[in-house]
């Protein structure tokens, strides 16, 4: 069995650094602002050396090029990873990093800088800068010119133990008080956009900004990256897996065997004390675990394990949820979101901008996954057969827009289009609250009201694709006017929009406040229950699943709604009424879209 290889940590002084990394087991120069400690590095700006054993003193660069057997991979290009600890005693600069392509093109560097952070400590209520709200490069230039960049940045709350992946191209900044473990591609290229106009106390100089370089690589709008963590076993959680590297968090409570891997791995202790092949290690300890060997870990602690990723070969589907305010593009594996990129839809800018953003997201995913097909959930009305949007009210001006042809020709994949409520119905029926039932009616009560019917796991579209469109059914023909639908329609009475205007009329500050009023709650539940009872009498589904934004306040009306539906159906049906809250929530659209298989 090959032994773990320990490396000597390298401390780096930074204008925003401090002394905190001492508490994580590193000996750092006194009175120096140590911002970073590089624990695994083979870079011109920092080179790790072997700390123990017969190869003591050897650089990681030499180890890599002379001993490919340790790494289990071709070592003719540069070592791929850089692992460091960061103590942000002050805010870091607002910055962005290039991806591989841009790093090659603009810097002649082998790698871009995709990076990720494990938050080891941070103040209560800490936020990070992650993303921006700018819409175009012009918009960016204006903000820089006017000195208002900080106001256009997004802040995300963080807590100890959070994990954040920062894809190259994301405008970001770590903030005062954060201590993080950073795992990244082997690059030290940072383009600074803003550095708080501060100067280096040692040199007295202001650090350079790199606005020109940054302008070339920031995307407008910001694409929000999401990757749910995956519990691989009760003690082993995968935090990310990208083409560059994976990161897993292991809770060590007993004896664990780290099975053989074809490629090398890096282990870092972030909490407690463990024993790795009988060597006692505490926080800060880092080792390279050679390829093709097993290792024994025991003790009581938390470790992060990282290493280069093996290539993904199983087919994955793309699900797209095109909404009036937000578009999500997700990679779906069976019924789970593996990764998602989302961005604000700008309906006024026309369909071509949104289409090109969707294409960009799919392009990013196609470089990592083997894609088999693409499904789009979009606001109706639309024609699933021709793939055309037919002037949807939520996307004004998008008349006869073909979403299918541009995507199928760009990616040479089958592309299916479906009404968003139908796609969500399919998602919930196959994988959500209706997964154990063979006949599921789904209704979404959100800005509008839509619905869909799934029978024997098949979407029932009807002759013209309008089956299940409960929103336009009439509850009371003397009811309120609706801009497009019937007077007194369910949507005109019970949608989020209708409730909001009712709240305004009644001087209630929100829909929740409105529904807290017993009379208003009964009014709403009566309307919605009437719609649902009509559905029950028409198709007699096994289960009705209710989703959409208005279910956010379901605890205010859920009992009353069920009760009212029971009152409105045949007595013999009363005990059979089964109404459930949606389970996939905001994910039903992308999951259902990915499950689409086309229309005969």
Ligand X SMILES: O=P(O)(O)OC[C@H]1O[C@@H](O)[C@@H](O)[C@@H](O)[C@@H]1O
Minimum CB distance to ligand X, residue 82 (Å)? 8
Within 13 Å of residue 116, how many CA atoms lie on the same side as its CB? Answer: 22
CB of 94 to ligand X, least distance (A): 8
121: its two tokens:
């400590």
> What are the φ/ψ torsions at residue 162 (nearest 5 degrees)?
-70, 155
Buried b (16+ CB within 10 A) or exposed e, 543-577: bbbbbbebbebeebbeebbbebbbebbeeeeeeeb
Considering only residues 247 to 306 of the shown chain, the ones binding ligand X according to CB under 6 A are none
> How far are the Cα atoms of 14, 194, 212, 214, 573 from residue 205, in angstroms, in the given order?
13, 15, 20, 21, 79
138, with CB counted inside 10 A (0-12, 13-18, 19+), is exposed
CA distance 263 to 356: 37
Catalytic residue among 14, 33, 192, 461: 192
Tell me whether residue 192 is one of the annotated catalytic residues: yes
Residue closer to ligand X, measured from CB, 106 or 455: 106
Pairing state between β 315-322 and 370-378: parallel
Q: Nearest residue to ligand X, using CB?
A: 93
Q: Which residue, 33 or 317, is less far from ligand X as judged by CB?
A: 33
Candidates 14, 20, 461, 527; binder of ligand X (CB under 6 A) is: 14
Comparing C-alpha atoms, which of 140, 76, 587, 570 is closest to residue 335? 587
**Minimum distance of ligand X from residue 320's CB (angstroms):** 31
Least spacing, CB of residue 100 vs ligand X, in Å:
16
Q: Of 189 and 489, which CB lies nearer to ligand X in the complex structure?
A: 189
Which of 10, 40, 58, 92 touches ligand X by CB under 6 A?
A: 92
Chain CA centroid to CA 528, Å: 33
Name which of 190 and 562 has its Cβ closer to ligand X: 190
Query: Least distance from C-beta 13 to ligand X, angstroms?
Result: 10
d(CA 113, CA 168): 6
Q: Which of 10, 119, 174, 266 binds ligand X (CB under 6 A)?
A: 174
> Which listed residue (87, 100, 115, 420) binds ligand X by CB under 6 A?
115
Please state, in angstroms and rounded to a whole number, the distance separating the CA atoms of residues 401 and 386: 10
Exactly one of 34, 75, 89, 93 binds ligand X (CB under 6 A); which one? 93
Does the N-terminal peptide bond of residue 221 adopt cis geometry, omega within 30 degrees of 0? yes
Please calculate the CA angle 230-235-237 and round it to the nearest 5 degrees. Answer: 25
**Listed residue (421, 326, 344, 332) closest to 372, CA to CA:** 332
Q: What is the side-by-side order of every strand in the sheet holding 399-402? A: 382-383, 388-390, 399-402
Pick the closer one to ligand X by CB: 16 or 441.
16
CB of 192 to ligand X, least distance (A): 5
Q: Is 190 in the site for ligand X (CB under 6 A)?
A: yes
Which is nearer to ligand X, 84 or 328 (by Cβ)?
Answer: 84
How far is the C-alpha of 27 from the C-alpha of 492, rounded, in Å?
A: 67
Q: How many C-alpha atoms does 589 have within 13 Å on its Cβ side?
A: 24
Q: What's the angle, vertex CA 360, arms to CA 359 and CA 363, rounded to 5?
A: 85
Q: How many residues bind ligand X (CB under 6 A)?
A: 9
Which runs of E-coded beta strand occur in 308-424?
315-322, 326-333, 336-344, 370-378, 382-383, 388-390, 399-402, 415-419
Contact status, residue 471 vs residue 532, Cβ threshold 8 Å: no
Report the DSSP pairing between strands 399-402 and 388-390: antiparallel
- Residue 500, judged by CB atoms within 10 A of its CB (0-12, 13-18, 19+), counts as middle
If the CB atoms of residues 174 and 289 are measured against ligand X, the closer one turns out to be 174
Name every residue whose Cβ is closer than 8 Å to that of residue 129 and which is 6 or more positions away in sequence.
Answer: 94, 153, 154, 155, 171, 172, 173, 175
- C-beta of 86: minimal distance to ligand X in Å? 6
Q: For ligand X, which residue of 34, 75, 95, 495 counts as binding (CB under 6 A)?
A: 95
Q: What single DSSP character describes residue 434?
A: T
Site for ligand X in 302-361 (CB under 6 A): none
Map the footprint of ligand X across residues 31-90, applying CB under 6 A. Answer: none
Q: Name the minimum Å distance from CB 111 to ligand X.
A: 13
Of 219 and 457, the one with the shorter C-beta distance to ligand X is 219
Instruction: Give the separation between CA 235 and CA 249, rounded to whole angstroms.
Output: 8
How far, in Å, CA of 526 to CA of 533, rounded?
A: 10
**Near ligand X by CB under 6 A: residue from 78, 182, 383, 522:** 182
Give the active site residues. Answer: 192
Give residues in contact with ligand X (CB under 6 A).
14, 92-93, 95, 115, 174, 182, 190, 192
């Amino acid at each position: 069995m090959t032994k773990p290889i320990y490396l000597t940590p390298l401390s780096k002084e930074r204008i925003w650094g401090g002394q905190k990394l001492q508490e994580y087991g590193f000996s750092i120069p006194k009175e120096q602002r140590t911002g970073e400690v590089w624990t695994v590095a083979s870079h011109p700006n920092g080179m790790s050396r072997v700390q123990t054993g017969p190869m003591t003193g050897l650089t990681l660069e030499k180890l890599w090029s002379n001993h490919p057997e340790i790494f289990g991979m071709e070592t003719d290009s540069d070592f791929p990873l850089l692992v460091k600890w960061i103590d942000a005693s002050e805010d870091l600069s607002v910055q962005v990093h290039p991806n591989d392509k841009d790093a090659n093109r603009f810097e002649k560097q082998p790698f871009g800088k995709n990076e990720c952070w494990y938050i080891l400590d941070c103040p209560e209520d800490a936020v990070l800068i992650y993303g921006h709200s700018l819409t175009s490069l012009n918009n960016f230039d204006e903000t820089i010119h006017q000195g208002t960049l900080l106001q256009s940045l997004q802040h995300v709350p963080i807590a100890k133990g959070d994990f954040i992946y920062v894809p190259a191209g994301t405008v970001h900044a770590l903030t005062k008080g954060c201590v993080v473990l950073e795992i990244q591609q082997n690059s030290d290229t940072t383009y600074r956009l803003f550095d708080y106009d501060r100067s280096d106390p040692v040199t007295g100089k202001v650090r350079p900004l790199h606005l020109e370089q940054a302008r070339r690589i920031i995307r407008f709008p910001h694409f929000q990256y999401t990757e749910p963590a995956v519990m691989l076993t009760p003690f082993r959680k995968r935090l990310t897996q990208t083409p560059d590297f994976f990161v897993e968090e292991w809770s060590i409570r007993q004896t664990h065997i780290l099975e053989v891997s074809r490629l090398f791995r890096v282990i870092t202790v972030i909490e407690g004390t463990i024993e790795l092949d009988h060597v006692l290690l505490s926080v800060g300890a880092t080792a390279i675990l050679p390829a093709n060997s097993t290792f024994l870990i025991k003790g009581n602690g938390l470790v992060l394990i990282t290493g280069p990723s093996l290539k993904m070969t199983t087919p994955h589907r793309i699900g797209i949820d095109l909404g009036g305010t937000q578009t999500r593009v997700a990679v779906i594996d069976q019924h789970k979101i593996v990764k998602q990129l989302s961005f604000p839809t700008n309906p006024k800018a026309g369909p071509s901008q949104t289409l090109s953003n969707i294409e960009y997201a799919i392009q990013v995913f196609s470089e990592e996954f083997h894609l088999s097909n693409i499904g789009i959930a979009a606001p109706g009305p639309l024609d699933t057969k021709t793939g055309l949007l037919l002037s949807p009210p939520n996307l004004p001006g998008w008349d006869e827009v073909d979403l299918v042809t541009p995507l199928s020709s760009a990616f040479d994949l089958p592309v299916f289009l479906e009404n968003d409520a139908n796609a969500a119905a399919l998602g919930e029926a196959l994988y959500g609250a209706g997964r154990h039932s063979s006949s599921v009616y789904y209704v979404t009560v959100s800005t509008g009201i839509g619905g869909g019917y799934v029978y024997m796991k098949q979407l029932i579209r009807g002759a013209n694709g309008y089956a299940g469109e409960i929103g336009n059914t009439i509850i009371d023909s003397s009811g309120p006017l609706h801009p497009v639908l019937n007077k007194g329609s369910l949507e005109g009475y019970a949608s989020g929009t209708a409730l909001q205007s009712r709240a305004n009329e009644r001087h209630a500050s929100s829909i929740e406040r409105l529904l807290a009023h017993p009379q208003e709650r009964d009014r709403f539940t009566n309307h919605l229950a009437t719609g649902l009872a009509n559905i029950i009498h028409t198709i007699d589904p096994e289960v009705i699943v209710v989703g959409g934004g208005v279910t956010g306040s379901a605890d205010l009306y859920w009992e009353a709604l069920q009760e009212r539906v029971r009152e409105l159906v045949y007595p013999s049906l009363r005990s059979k009424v089964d109404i459930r809250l949606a389970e996939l929530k905001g994910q039903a659209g992308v999951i259902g879209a990915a499950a689409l298989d086309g229309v005969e």
